[in-house]
A = this chain, B = another copy of it.
Amino acid sequence: MITAAEVEKRVKRLHSLMEEKKIDKLLVTAPKNTTYLSGRDTGRLLLTRDEDFLWTREIYKEIYSDLYDDKKYPLEVMLYEKDAIKNQVKKLGIKCLHVDNPSVMGFQSMEKNLGIDPLATDVIEQQRMTKTPLEIGLLRKAADIAVIGMRKAYDVVSGGVKELDALAEIEYAIRKAGSDAPPFDDGMLLSSGASSADIHARAGPGKIKKGSTVVVDLGGRVYGYYSDMTRTIAVGSVDRPARRLIEYVDELRGEAIDMLKPGVVAGDVHAFIEKDMGRRGYKFYHSSGHGVGLNIHESPSLSSDSLDVLKEDMVFTIEPGVYIPGKYGVRFEDTVLLKKNGAEILTGFSR
């Protein structure tokens, strides 16, 4: 549960960051950002040097005051009625404000409706990259649920079982373990044999064959905070090249995690993985990882040329994968927490 004290801390930190970036007024509209700053996605916020406002519908006003155990809610809760934000913007004499990166057409209608000159910013997404202790606690719980799901995966994935049936059992276990959402947005990934070479393949009605490899990519969610984890399961005895590839990718995952410490540039982690794969003749088709928090994919980006600098209290994935079209795919992924001296694996589990 997100407390009033936590909201206060986040809002305060955002104000310092706004000052640093010379952002005077910030309108917050993206659901994950309003959740980050208020605990719910049912509001719109306006932060200024003097005062912070939260607009919400009448029916939710009570809920906001009930939401915070110590009842000291740090934002002024106002009624979201027609033109409520427009009127406040007028009242405060605002001519220009920043807004958290809406769609172009949303931006244009905002320009027209509010009668102001908006500027897009990702300042909140930048703040969300490093996690507070409360966030880290929730991410740990989400990671524990991922591990419960993965244990179930090793139990149910076997020859003759339909992909979708195995998936249903695993998602069921994840929900029973208390996940507040199914894995990710579209459900977990589970693909076997040749279809696992398609990075985007989803589970189908087909049966898992003995001797095949199965990529299982799943996670949990606790109070909105996600976890993300992948293992590649060998069903029965797989051939030697597949077994070797599984060992190789898993080891590469471990090596990449070993190189993590504060100050490392994200693009360099990707370059390390890509280069190692290249030496063995493999091409790396996706990024090496991504931040995890209120979004399953958020900053930092561990992709080619990424200049994001890894910092203490960041939580992100490391996920090398090798895909041999027509044959199989192998991916291993952990969610890690970056600490002063290196990374802690939150989704630690192997079998």
Asked if A94 is at the interface (CB within 8 A of a chain B CB), the reply is no
Q: A325 and B62: CB pair below 8 A? A: yes
Asked if A131 is at the interface (CB within 8 A of a chain B CB), the reply is no
Partner of A104, one of B59, B103, B197: B103
Q: A102 and B101: CB pair below 8 A? A: no
Asked if A122 is at the interface (CB within 8 A of a chain B CB), the reply is yes
Q: How far is the CA of A156 from the CA of B325 in the complex (A)?
A: 43
In A296-328, which residues have CB < 8 Å from any B CB? Answer: 323, 325-326
Q: B164 and A199: CB pair below 8 A? A: no
- Interface range, A side: 35 or more
In A53-84, which residues have CB < 8 Å from any B CB? Answer: 57-60, 62-63
CB neighbours of A326 from chain B (8 A): 62
Q: B172 and A168: CB pair below 8 A? A: yes
Asked if A8 is at the interface (CB within 8 A of a chain B CB), the reply is no
Residue of B nearest to A125 (CB): B105
* Nearest-Cβ distance from residue A40 to partner chain B, whole angstroms: 7
Q: A182 and B172: CB pair below 8 A? A: no
CB neighbours of A323 from chain B (8 A): 59
Q: B101 and A120: CB pair below 8 A? A: no
Q: B63 and A198: CB pair below 8 A? A: yes
Asked if A281 is at the interface (CB within 8 A of a chain B CB), the reply is no
Q: A103 and B105: CB pair below 8 A? A: no
Would you give the 0/1 interface string for A103-126, flagging 1 where the beta carbon is closer than 8 Å to chain B?
A: 111011000000000001010000
| Given A103-B101, A104-B101, A323-B59, A175:B186 Cβ within 8 A | no
Asked if A171 is at the interface (CB within 8 A of a chain B CB), the reply is yes
Top 5 A-B pairs, shortest CB-CB distance: A182-B182, A104-B120, A168-B175, A172-B172, A181-B186
6 sample A-B contacts, Cβ–Cβ < 8 Å, listed by A number: A42-B200, A101-B104, A103-B120, A104-B104, A180-B186, A180-B203
